[in-house]
Amino acid sequence: MNLNLTLVGQLIAFLIFVWFCMKFVWPPITAAMAERQKKIAEGLDAADRAARSLEDARAQVEQELQQARAQITEMIEQANRRANQIVEEAQDKARLEAEKIMASSSAQIAQDVAQARESLRGEVASLALVGAERILGASVDKAAHSKLLADLAEQL
Amino acid sequence: MASENPTATEYIRHHLTNLTFGYHPENGWSFAHGGQEATEMGFMAIHVDTVGWSFALGIVFSIIFYLGAKRATSGVPSGILNAVEAVVDFVDNSVRESFHGKSALIAPLALTIFGWIFMMNLVKLLPIDFVPALFKAAGVEYMKIVPTTDLNATLGMALGVFVLIIFYSLKIKGAAGFIGELTLQPFGKWLLPFNFLLEGVGLIAKPISLALRLFGNMYAGELIFLLIALLPFYLQWVLSVPWAIFHIFVIILQAFIFMMLTICYLSMAHEHH
């Protein structure tokens, strides 16, 4: 194994390659890698933030839903109460109306009855008079007995 | 060496000889015909195959990562960028774990070391006779395609790291601080020569151990492949397949060790004592 100028040649080549690597290879690659690392870190960060805001939005939606549900329940309750109230009012009104109608009709009836009784009384009195006339064979003095007949009709 | 039916020794020696171009005392500037001539050329010679292959593989590494860098985007990565980023991320983490100073050089340096050594080790998984046979058909006698099995290559890189160790030691600690570190510990100023001997050996051992560890592993692996290649062709797969599979692990591990040790040494150079 001879040591010779090859040594020097190799040394020179070595220095050239190191220089080349230092100048043209290492900086761009490491720079790109560092930048990508930064990008990835930023991306992960953004994803984290997005996930957190999504979580927030979910919570907000949940809260709003709950509010809306409560509101709806309240509205339904209100509507129910209103409906009940309306029904009750209608019932009351109907009852009053019915009572009124009943009252007026019973008054009418009473009036009719009184009227019928009145006319019947008159009729009975005249019938009785006619009967008595027949029985007594004629002449009962209308004028003399009208007072009596009126009393009779009054008692009927 | 070039005979038609080489013996086992000749075969192995032939495969372990680099294509050498240099100044021969008798033939002048020429390609060496065999290991003997290459040795005679001494230091004024160059392993054309080692330099050529290592440079080509370095270019391949650079192109792959340059394409990755061109397509670098902070958006969704795809294709080559994924592969490049996986390696870059791995190297970056290794550097972060071991090196606590601030330096624009260390990480790209570590990436280059890891990527380049990996590429150079990777060609070892090519069938051992394949490329040399191709070159032989083209008229080139010797061709050793794995640069890291050449001590010159590994020592060249280790020397580069060594220069950086010295440079950063001087830059961070100052000349006085660095000399102090070499001479005033571990035993205080009264044992200064002994300290210097100890620390000096420790300092020199860093690049030497870097170079020898990688070279030794790759060279030994290459030798095993050569020995397996001496078996009859119908039996070779029994050993070469498990060994190659094991070597997939080894080539990555050796590239990783070279890188990690470089980071550690430079980290030590950055630390005050």
Cβ <8 Å between A25 and B68: yes
Q: Is the pLDDT of residue B102 over 90?
A: no
Q: What is the dihedral sign for C-alpha B113, B119, B125, B126?
A: negative
Rounded Cα distance between A10 and A59, Å, is 70
CB B173 within 8 A of CB B166: no
B46: β partners: B21
Rounded Cα distance between B149 and B49, Å, is 11
Structure tokens at B68: 């990755």
Cβ <8 Å between B50 and A10: yes
CB B23 within 8 A of CB B41: yes
Backbone phi and psi for residue B188, each to the nearest 5 degrees, phi listed first? 80, 170
Return the pLDDT at A137: 67
Average pLDDT (B122-129) is 87
Q: Which of residues 28-57 of A touch B (CB under 8 A)?
A: 28-33, 35-36, 38-39
Average pLDDT (B130-148) is 86
Rounded Cα distance between B32 and B229, Å, is 25
Cβ <8 Å between B44 and A4: yes
Q: What is the dihedral sign for C-alpha A19, B51, B92, B102?
A: negative
Average pLDDT (A84-90) is 95
Lowest mean pLDDT among A68-72, A97-101, A104-108, B4-8: B4-8
Number of alpha carbons in the 13 Å side-chain half-sphere of residue A46: 6
Q: Which of residues 9-28 of A touch B (CB under 8 A)?
A: 9-11, 13-18, 20-22, 24-26, 28
Rounded Cα distance between B255 and B4, Å, is 37
Mean pLDDT across chain A, nearest whole number?
A: 88
Structure tokens at B205: 């051992």
B30: β partners: B22
Tell me how far the alpha carbon of residue B11 is from its chain's centroid: 25
Task: Examine residue B147 and say whether the peptide bond preceding it is cis (omega within 30 degrees of 0).
Answer: no
Query: Which of B259, B159, B154, B146 shows the shortest CA–CA distance to B211?
Result: B154
Average pLDDT (B163-176) is 89
Lowest mean pLDDT among A92-106, B170-184, B194-208, B251-265: B170-184
Rounded Cα distance between B254 and B118, Å, is 8
Q: Report strand pairing: B28-31 vs B20-24.
A: antiparallel
Return the pLDDT at A138: 57
Q: Is the ipTM of this complex over 0.85?
A: yes
- The shortest CB-CB distance from B111 to any of A4, A5, A21 is to A21
Please list every residue in chain B whose beta carbon sits closer than 8 Å to the beta carbon of residue A36. 73-75, 77
Beta strands in chain B (DSSP E): 20-24, 28-31, 45-47
Please list every residue in chain A whose beta carbon sits closer than 8 Å to the beta carbon of residue B62. 17, 20-21, 25
CB B34 within 8 A of CB B21: no
Query: Which of B70, B95, B66, B86 shows the shortest CA–CA distance to A22?
Result: B66
Return the pLDDT at B253: 94
CB A41 within 8 A of CB B83: no
Lowest mean pLDDT among A49-58, B129-138, B257-266: B129-138
Average pLDDT (A29-39) is 90
Q: Is the pLDDT of residue B133 over 50?
A: yes
Average pLDDT (A18-45) is 91
Shortest distance, CA A21 to any CA of chain B (angstroms): 6
Q: Is the pLDDT of residue A62 over 50?
A: yes
Q: What per-residue string of b and e applies to B190-214 under the rule 16 or more CB within 10 Å gives b?
A: eeeeebeebbeeebeebbeebbbbb
The top-scoring range by mean pLDDT among B74-88, B122-136, B206-220 is B206-220
Band (pLDDT 50/70/90 cuts) for residue B62 is very high
Which bin fits B79, alpha (ψ -120 to 50), beta or left (φ > 0)? left
Q: Is the pLDDT of residue B2 over 50?
A: no
Supply the residues of B annotated as catalytic.
209, 213, 217
Return the pLDDT at B3: 47
Band (pLDDT 50/70/90 cuts) for residue A155 is confident
Q: CB neighbours of B112 closer than 8 A, spacing ≥ 6?
A: A14, A17, A18, A20, A21, A22, B61
Cβ <8 Å between B85 and A29: yes
Rounded Cα distance between B70 and B81, Å, is 9
Rounded Cα distance between B154 and B254, Å, is 12
Residue whose tokens read 């020097």: A8
**Residue B53: closest C-alpha in chain A:** A10
Cα dihedral value A44, A46, A52, A53, nearest 10:
-160
Q: Is the pLDDT of residue A6 over 90?
A: no
Return the pLDDT at A142: 65
Rounded Cα distance between B218 and A105, Å, is 133
Tens-digit pLDDT profile for residues B19-33: 888 888 887 788 887
**Residue A23: closest C-alpha in chain B:** B108
Average pLDDT (A76-84) is 96
Tens-digit pLDDT profile for residues A109-144: 999 999 998 888 888 888 887 887 777 765 656 666
Tens-digit pLDDT profile for residues B252-272: 999 999 999 999 999 988 886
Shortest distance, CA A7 to any CA of chain B (angstroms): 5
> Model-level pTM?
0.74
Return the pLDDT at B35: 77
Mean pLDDT across chain B, nearest whole number?
A: 87
- The shortest CB-CB distance from B69 to any of A10, A25, A35 is to A25
